């Protein structure tokens, strides 16, 4: 079966750096997405990786290793508004999106 | 600024009722999706469409139907609501390419009593 694993919950301090990991086992691979979802709201797109390496977008970066079936989202200079769930999703060989359950990130002052 | 709209935002309805959740997008996207999401859980695909007159079933398609008569409109109908249908329903759209991200509506939170 297809599976995406993310930690259920993480806690970090305002101003610090946090890394949210995602491992996947899917039927083929055609890209990996990270989305942010605040409580009670819809997911919003953060990043997309299809090739190995690091993609940087301001305070957020996303890394992919296809050989290891692994990605991480790196959040720098954490702000209270970064408290949210972070969803990892992989596009499989049929271009279907497989979603992880998300990592709830709690930011403390 | 929302380019994809869902109505109603909240709905409380009795068991056995037929309901339609509305979704419209103004971006001209060909692909549209309906997802169900319970708190703290992953998104489950209910139905999707690759364009007008195209509809496909996802993992949770039973007891619901969709239609795609116009590019911008993708309504979801539950023929007979049950308490197990209580959940958040998210509509999304994307451009044609596999690398295109999904744009989500604000969701409909459905409670079936």
Span A13-42, pLDDT tens digits:
999 999 999 999 999 999 999 999 999 899
Query: Coil, strand, or helix at residue B46?
Result: strand
| Cβ-defined contact of A30 to B103 (cutoff 8 Å) | no
Question: Which residue is it, tokens 């969803």?
Answer: A87
| A to B CB pairs, distance under 8 Å | 44
| Cβ-defined contact of B40 to A102 (cutoff 8 Å) | yes
Of B33, B16, B10, B35, the closest CA to residue B84 belongs to: B16
Instruction: Check the CA dihedral A41-A44-A46-A48 and report its sign.
Output: positive
Under the phi-then-psi rule, with left for phi > 0, alpha for psi from -120 to 50, and beta for the rest, what region is B53? left
| Cβ-defined contact of B107 to A42 (cutoff 8 Å) | yes
pLDDT in tens, A51-60: 999 999 999 9
Both tokens of A73, joined, read: 């989202």
Contacts of A101 in chain B (CB under 8 A): 40-42
pLDDT beyond 80 at B98: no
Of A89, A82, A75, the closest CA to residue A104 belongs to: A82
Q: Are strands A9-13 and A103-108 parallel, antiparallel or unpaired?
A: parallel
Q: Give the contacts of B113 (CB within 8 A, at least 6 positions apart).
A: B12, B13, B14, B15, B83
Contacts of A45 in chain B (CB under 8 A): 101-103
How high is the pLDDT of residue B12?
A: 97
pLDDT in tens, A38-92: 998 999 999 999 999 999 999 999 999 999 999 999 999 999 999 999 999 999 9
Q: What percent of chain B has pLDDT over 70?
A: 98
Contact B107, A42 (CB under 8 A): yes
Compute the average pLDDT of residues B24-35: 95
| φ/ψ (deg, to 5) at B89 | -115, 125
| Cβ-defined contact of B99 to A43 (cutoff 8 Å) | no
How high is the pLDDT of residue A56?
A: 94
How high is the pLDDT of residue B1?
A: 55
Which of B40, B90, B95, B103 is the best mutation test for A, with the most CBs of A within 10 A? B40
Rounded to the nearest angstrom, the minimum Cα separation between B18 and chain A is: 25
Of the candidates B40, B42, B101, which has its C-beta nearest A45's C-beta?
B101
Give kind and range of the element (H or E) at residue B5: strand B4-7
Contact A20, A32 (CB under 8 A): no
pLDDT beyond 90 at B61: no
Provide the pLDDT confidence category of residue B40 given band limits of 50, 70 and 90: confident
B71: number of Cβ within 10 Å:
17
Compute the average pLDDT of residues B39-55: 92
């Amino acid at each position: 079966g297809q599976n995406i694993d993310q930690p259920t919950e993480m806690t970090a301090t305002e101003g610090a750096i946090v890394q949210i990991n995602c491992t996947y086992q899917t039927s083929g691979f055609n890209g990996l997405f990270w989305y942010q979802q605040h409580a009670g709201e819809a997911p919003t797109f953060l990043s997309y990786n299809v090739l190995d390496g690091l993609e940087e977008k301001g305070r957020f970066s996303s890394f992919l290793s296809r050989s290891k079936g692994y990605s991480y989202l790196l959040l720098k200079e954490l702000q209270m508004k970064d408290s949210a769930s972070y969803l990892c999703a992989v596009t499989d060989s049929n271009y279907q999106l497989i979603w992880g359950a998300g990592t709830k990130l709690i930011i403390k002052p | 600024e929302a380019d994809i709209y869902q109505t109603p935002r909240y709905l409380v309805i009795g068991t056995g009722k037929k309901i339609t959740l509305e979704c419209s997008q103004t971006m001209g996207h060909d692909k549209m999706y309906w997802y169900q999401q319970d708190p703290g859980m992953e998104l489950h695909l209910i139905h999707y469409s690759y364009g007008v007159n195209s509809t496909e079933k996802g993992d949770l398609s039973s007891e619901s139907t969709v239609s795609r008569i116009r590019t911008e409109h993708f309504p979801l109908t539950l023929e007979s609501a049950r308490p197990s249908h209580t959940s958040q329903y998210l509509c999304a759209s994307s451009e044609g390419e596999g690398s295109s991200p999904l744009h989500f509506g604000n969701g409909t939170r459905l409670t079936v009593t």
